[in-house]
Structure 1
């Protein structure tokens, strides 16, 4: 048998074997997810959804992320429901996002806008106006999947 054909056959068998072992491989993070890590944040602050585009002005810190649709997720560890709009805006510098628009969380029977997020050592601090909530950063090491159906326009 031709060695090249044998090699391709073995390679194909390995790929098939890998796909059966892991039917849902982790998706590659978008450039927007990677950009979060450049500013000291875990990728799990953005949902695992299609990022249609993003911009960051490295001088002013203004950013804009366009998702494939609105998204609802459950935030660890307290299982708060959060929603992401199709567009998320704000200002970002190393370790801090401010003037956020497009992320809300349901707590105490009311929807609250998350206005800022800080990376503080091993913790992430969410700001809702003057109120803050601190959680371990490791809870956000992976991007959560959107729940239910979401618009793609």
Structure 2
């Protein structure tokens, strides 16, 4: 596949604004390893090769175990994730697949004990931002280096 458009050079202001969202996420209470797990899971669901490559590397740099990363798509069937991570992964999948799931009440009830209201907003910002990046990268065919 060939890259369709370099969206960074086509509209630097729009990319600066997406970058500002990333800066807010970095300052949030969401720890880096969890953030990278969630970014990676969204990118798996969306099939974004560029983001899969980048966030796998970022997760490893953040100290994530490759065993957990390799089993991320089957997180429900493994013992490798905490209850907090499981709740965040379920929430992430439901939000990413919102047209299909409408984010069920059961998923909401499962996540509430594990995160503060502020953290829930930060999680939503993280999930919606990586979904935005996925859509840019997929639509404009951004390729891994």
Q: Using structure 1 for the length normalisation, give the TM-score.
A: 0.27
**Structure of greater Rg:** 1
